[in-house]
């Protein structure tokens, strides 16, 4: 921990990375994704939590949920809402929208139509134009973050979850709230009463166990790890988590060697793609770089007590279901899955057969819902990370962003990596005592638009 927190001194020598492994001839084309995109099973005995993650299963049969339905086929455009539900939990208003066909909720072709979510309490009225991502409070346009808006998933789907911060809106416990849909589709409003008290939360324990391998993943936002203004905060974030392995994205002009030394680590492999995109695996354990033919991920054999393969990923940005960007991203996901298969089969030089695999990074998961299944088809499972206190799994979001906070980043692992626990780190949700114990500042997570993903493993 102390080594991770020591100050970083600028270095002038760049690292000349040499490949320790060479690929064998290309294998047969990858199979179609038959594996489920279902996440890793939740921790044993863990209570059911309401999480804005796009899953939606906690709504089924739950108490305190108000529901409404609408006719299919009465909408103008792709957002034909057929069911709506709402509840309030821990000072958050949670809304579930079910639409008739798979589509992106807040992106799509310019002529694709929209729908407007209408939420009101007393004389205070919010209107959220979903496709335009425009939020109005009365006659005034406000930022999405001003209402504490979270949405999941970011990719196309038929079920979406949205959440508003009731404290940010200053909507009092016991008041009544109406939720409906207008314009492109018309859904009769439903009404609920806000609970009079929020549940209390206990202090968090974010430290790792001595026998666990801790892996963190972080998109640093354009070489943020060495940025003069943001670097200190980012190094505090990662240092406080005491990781054994860090998977970094958007290194930009920062070299993997410099990034590792900034974090007090001795070992790094990585690749630079352009002035923004560059990714690395850095570790306190020795690394063997594994050759990859795709610029969108980098892999290394981590010589931990039980060796694992760590893969840092940054897939192409933007677009929506069926767009050119989405097609490129799906191909990259298929290439990644094929590479994981080869690693597991011992078909990448320098990698023994059957080594546990951990994959994480910025997947820019905003297009096809098949992306997660493409990766999972390589016999890895998505780890269901969430914020430890907030009822959300968002990994991306900034105060002035034109998109709502949502899930762009993922972590996957093979069963023999033996995932134990994990969380998404945001200093804004920690108590003063927790910040002090971790030597963090409340604004540290604002040093990037992405959040740090943390997971503990017991590989075998």
pLDDT number for residue 39: 66
- By the 8 A CB rule, do 3 and 235 touch? no
- The CA-based diameter of the chain, rounded to the nearest angstrom, is 67
pLDDT number for residue 413: 98
Confidence of residue 205 (pLDDT cuts 50, 70, 90): confident
pLDDT number for residue 4: 42
- By the 8 A CB rule, do 373 and 38 touch? no
Q: Report the distance separating Cα 456 and Cα 338, nearest Å.
A: 25
**Mean pLDDT confidence for 19-40:** 42
CA distances from 318 to 89, 250, 361 (A): 32, 15, 15
Lowest mean pLDDT among 109-118, 304-313, 406-415: 109-118
DSSP H or E run through 371: helix 371-376
Which residues, at least 6 apart from 423, have a Cβ–Cβ distance to it below 8 Å?
206, 385, 386, 387, 388, 454
Q: Report the distance separating Cα 304 and Cα 286, nearest Å.
A: 8
Q: Is 234 helix (H, G, I), strand (E, B) or coil?
A: helix
Confidence of residue 24 (pLDDT cuts 50, 70, 90): very low
pLDDT digits (tens, 9 = 90+) for 154-176: 999 999 999 999 999 999 999 99
Query: What pTM was estimated for this model as a whole?
Result: 0.89
- By the 8 A CB rule, do 421 and 207 touch? no
Q: Report the distance separating Cα 327 and Cα 197, nearest Å.
A: 47
Confidence of residue 5 (pLDDT cuts 50, 70, 90): very low
pLDDT number for residue 199: 66
**Mean pLDDT confidence for 241-265:** 94
Domains for the chain: give ranges and CATH numbers.
2-42+203-457 (3.60.10.10), 63-193 (no CATH)
pLDDT number for residue 3: 44
Lowest mean pLDDT among 86-100, 192-206, 412-426: 192-206
Q: Report the distance separating Cα 145 and Cα 404, nearest Å.
A: 7
pLDDT number for residue 307: 97
pLDDT digits (tens, 9 = 90+) for 344-392: 999 999 999 999 999 999 999 999 999 999 999 999 999 999 999 999 9
Confidence of residue 20 (pLDDT cuts 50, 70, 90): very low
181 strand-pairing partners? 117, 187
Tell whether the model's pLDDT for residue 10 goes beyond 50: no
pLDDT digits (tens, 9 = 90+) for 293-318: 889 999 999 999 999 999 999 999 99
Confidence of residue 93 (pLDDT cuts 50, 70, 90): very high
Confidence of residue 198 (pLDDT cuts 50, 70, 90): low
pLDDT number for residue 267: 97
């Amino acid at each position: 921990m102390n080594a991770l927190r020591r100050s970083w001194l600028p270095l002038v020598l760049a690292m000349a990375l040499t490949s320790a492994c060479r690929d064998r001839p290309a294998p047969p084309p990858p199979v179609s994704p038959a594996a489920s995109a279902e996440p890793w099973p939740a921790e044993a005995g863990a209570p059911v939590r309401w999480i804005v993650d796009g899953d939606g299963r906690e709504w089924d049969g739950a108490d305190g949920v108000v529901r409404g339905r609408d006719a299919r086929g009465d909408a103008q455009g792709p957002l034909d809402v057929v069911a709506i539900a709402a509840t309030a939990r821990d000072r958050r208003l949670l809304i579930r929208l079910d639409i008739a066909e798979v589509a992106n909720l807040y992106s799509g072709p310019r002529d694709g139509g929209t729908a407007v979510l209408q939420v009101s309490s007393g004389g205070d009225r919010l209107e959220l134009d979903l496709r335009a991502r425009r939020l109005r409070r009365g006659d005034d346009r406000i930022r999405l973050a001003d209402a504490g808006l979270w949405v999941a998933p970011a990719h196309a789907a038929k079920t979406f979850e949205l959440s508003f911060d009731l404290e940010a809106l200053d909507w009092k416990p016991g008041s009544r709230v109406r939720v409906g849909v207008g314009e492109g589709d018309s859904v009769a409003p439903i009404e609920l009463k806000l609970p009079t008290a929020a549940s209390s939360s206990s202090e968090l324990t974010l430290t790792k166990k001595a026998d666990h391998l801790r892996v963190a993943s972080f998109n640093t936002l354009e070489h943020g790890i060495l940025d003069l203004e943001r670097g200190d905060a980012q190094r505090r974030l990662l240092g406080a988590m005491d990781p054994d392995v860090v998977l970094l994205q958007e290194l930009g002009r920062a070299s993997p060697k410099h990034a590792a030394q900034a974090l007090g680590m001795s070992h790094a492999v990585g690749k630079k793609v352009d002035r923004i995109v560059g990714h690395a695996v850095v570790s306190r354990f020795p690394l063997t770089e594994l050759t990859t033919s795709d610029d969108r991920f980098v892999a290394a054999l981590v010589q931990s007590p039980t060796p694992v393969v760590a893969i840092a990923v940054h897939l192409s940005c933007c677009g929506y279901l069926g767009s050119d960007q989405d097609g490129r991203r799906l191909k990259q996901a298929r290439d990644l899955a094929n590479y994981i298969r080869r690693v597991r089969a011992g078909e990448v030089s320098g990698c023994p057969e059957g080594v546990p695999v951990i994959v994480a990074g910025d997947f820019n998961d905003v297009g096809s819902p098949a992306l997660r299944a493409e990766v999972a088809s390589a016999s890895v499972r998505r780890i269901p990370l969430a914020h430890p206190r907030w009822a959300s799994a968002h990994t991306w979001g900034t105060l002035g962003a034109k998109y709502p906070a949502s899930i762009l980043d993922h972590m996957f692992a093979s069963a023999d990596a033996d995932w134990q626990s994990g969380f998404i780190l945001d200093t804004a949700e920690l108590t003063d005592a927790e910040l002090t114990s971790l030597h963090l500042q409340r604004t540290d997570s604002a040093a990037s638009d992405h959040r740090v993903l943390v997971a503990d493993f017991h590989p075998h």
